[in-house]
A and B are shown apart, each in its own frame.
Chain A
């Protein structure tokens, strides 16, 4: 191609590209010509929760095609762009799955205002729930998951995964058959997964995996024996304190997994019934775990949902936990008085004690020291982090990573130590609970409880605490708590005086301390019973109920008294 021709071709090409680039800008400028022609509003449900993803359409009277369309955002707001030509009679239609459609007739004054370019804000719209086939299906899936977990027919994680898969199968495969079968799509389901909870638990699992290998639990348990100087009643108190503190800073299951074998050994060496030490330990573990945000998975769920900080739990729950622990210690002393006072039935075995002392060593002092330093820094960040909007999940992840980089463990081993099944369980659980939330079951339960308690905060405190405590004795407390969060959120928003989040603390107390009411009430109970059985000291359902249920009554009563004093 000759040079001039190439030059002109290049110029023509650049002009053409410039024109193409300018086109959208001109269009955008054209839309800006009516910057204020907006029709705005907010959509709520009957529980005062903002409704997102609702389709908002503007129609001219009698027309089928909308003049303008949009969807509500996460805060329930919408803004309809108004076309250049505005008819006199306008209708706004708001639709969303699982809600009754709402049609708002706009009067001519609205149309006139819009013509002047002024924005118009419509009054808040309340959408009413609609019970469709998907409501019953989601409810059945949720109940099925709870039953599978309660009766141990499937592993928790498998039950949650199954529930999640059925929700998706019904939504995707059922929708072509009937729109009523739609629950939510994949993107909609992911909105219900609380990643703050997932990452916080994951970070803490890595920290725990390092700490549990150091021998600290064995060392502490033997230190408790030495400190007690053979006084069994005192040994019980120290062991309860150790398990309580460990449960509040790590987690109940790990604490009991590591404390139970060493406790059995101490009991055998002292010739006492191991259950006289184990039962008080596991009861203390369930009670004291809730004194911190990271102590129990239920607290992590509650903290993340209600935006309660580490300090909030420390300030508002720890005194109540101390009160409950005092009651629990007195109860255990009374309940096991024969074993504790009669003591060494077969005499203390020096051989066994020597063996015990030999084993009660810190096996990885360097790792323990480093974990202590990182743990202390994490504690500082947990306490002060809220000032810089540092969420606990980020603190836990930073702490876990720092510890791994510092001690350079076998990374494969550490990754294996993360309980992935639990994390997957949480994801599945969030989706299944999200499904019943989406179809409105949680709203109906919330409304029902709201009707019972009315505007009486004291009654609400009692109902939430004791309802949670008693149900947690038979239902796994994690799915229960996850399902109760929006219910408690609704009660918190609607009952005068509940905005201090007292009802979330009631849920924390009830769901955790309720675990003491039965053997299946908490994973820590099951783990303890499993190990004790393998040592020849089976813990039956009846035995646990006999010892645990009075403990539930005492500790929940004391914690309730504290919550009433603190908040009402």
Chain B
């Protein structure tokens, strides 16, 4: 199996990423996978014992976000699959790319530049290099047309 993986978080900032992935799927005719990763590290300082119950709720929210992405793809004639994973975002994306033998990985640009952000500019670049080294997927950013 091979295809395009599009890591989505939802919200207006993820629209360019979604659109880029849909366009790429239309151009390459490769299967499109929207991936949402449930990451609960933000609870570490406030409610670490609640991860059990919140994990399910977050997964459902992720499925919901993926449904909206799938609906957008469908509007462009692309049938996309939604996949929810649990864990650290970067590791889960890399693992999923390996799992399906992804050809392309479409990810967004970091929007908020703070230490707590999962994708600061530095980490983002490190992540791109890591993915391209560890998997055979080429990383595509929304700006690249």
Residues of A near any B CB (own CB < 8 A): 152, 155-156, 209, 212-213, 218, 253-254, 257-258, 261-262, 264-265, 268-269, 349, 351-352, 355-356, 359, 413, 416-422, 523, 526-527, 530-531, 533-538, 540
Report yes or no: B68 in contact with A534, Cβ–Cβ below 8 A. Answer: no
| Interface of B (DSSP majority class) | helix
Q: Does B100 contact A (CB under 8 A)?
A: no
Residues of B within 8 A of A413 (CB): 52
The answer, among B13, B54, B71, for a CB contact under 8 Å with A257, is: B54
Report yes or no: B49 in contact with A416, Cβ–Cβ below 8 A. Answer: yes
Known: A261-B58, A526-B45, A527-B43. A419 touches B50 (CB 8 A): yes
Q: Which residue of chain B lies nearest to A413 when distances are taken between CB atoms in the complex?
A: B52
Residues of A within 8 A of B60 (CB): 261, 265, 359
Report yes or no: A535 in contact with B61, Cβ–Cβ below 8 A. Answer: yes
Report yes or no: B49 in contact with A535, Cβ–Cβ below 8 A. Answer: no
Report yes or no: A257 in contact with B9, Cβ–Cβ below 8 A. Answer: no
The smallest C-beta distance from A288 to any residue of chain B, in angstroms, reads 19
Interface string of B30-56 (1 = CB under 8 A from A): 000000001100111111111011100
Q: How far is A531 from B111 in the complex, measured between Cα atoms in Å?
A: 16
Please name the 6 residue pairs, one residue from A and one from B, whose CB atoms are nearest each other, closest first.
A536-B11, A530-B42, A536-B10, A261-B61, A419-B49, A261-B57
Known: A155-B45, A261-B61. A534 touches B9 (CB 8 A): yes
Known: A155-B44, A268-B65. A540 touches B49 (CB 8 A): no
The answer, among B57, B61, B71, for a CB contact under 8 Å with A351, is: B71
Residues of A within 8 A of B38 (CB): 534
Q: How far is A442 from B43 in the complex, measured between Cα atoms in Å?
A: 32
Residues of A within 8 A of B19 (CB): none
Q: Which residue of chain B lies nearest to A218 when distances are taken between CB atoms in the complex?
A: B57
Report yes or no: B45 in contact with A536, Cβ–Cβ below 8 A. Answer: no
The answer, among A213, A265, A537, for a CB contact under 8 Å with B11, is: A537
Q: How far is A155 from B61 in the complex, measured between Cα atoms in Å?
A: 27
Residues of B within 8 A of A540 (CB): 112
Q: How far is A537 from B14 in the complex, measured between Cα atoms in Å?
A: 10
The smallest C-beta distance from B109 to any residue of chain A, in angstroms, reads 13
Residues of A within 8 A of B43 (CB): 527, 530
6 CB < 8 A contacts A-B: A258-B54, A416-B52, A419-B47, A530-B46, A535-B11, A540-B112
Q: Which residue of chain A lies nearest to B59 when distances are taken between CB atoms in the complex?
A: A261
Residues of A within 8 A of B39 (CB): 534
Report yes or no: A417 in contact with B53, Cβ–Cβ below 8 A. Answer: yes
Residues of B within 8 A of A257 (CB): 47, 50, 53-54, 57
Report yes or no: B68 in contact with A527, Cβ–Cβ below 8 A. Answer: no
Residues of B within 8 A of A258 (CB): 53-54, 57
* Contacts beyond the supplied A419-B50, A530-B43, A535-B9: 15 A-B pairs with Cβ under 8 Å: A152-B45, A257-B53, A258-B57, A261-B57, A261-B61, A265-B60, A413-B52, A419-B48, A419-B49, A420-B49, A523-B47, A527-B42, A534-B9, A538-B11, A538-B112
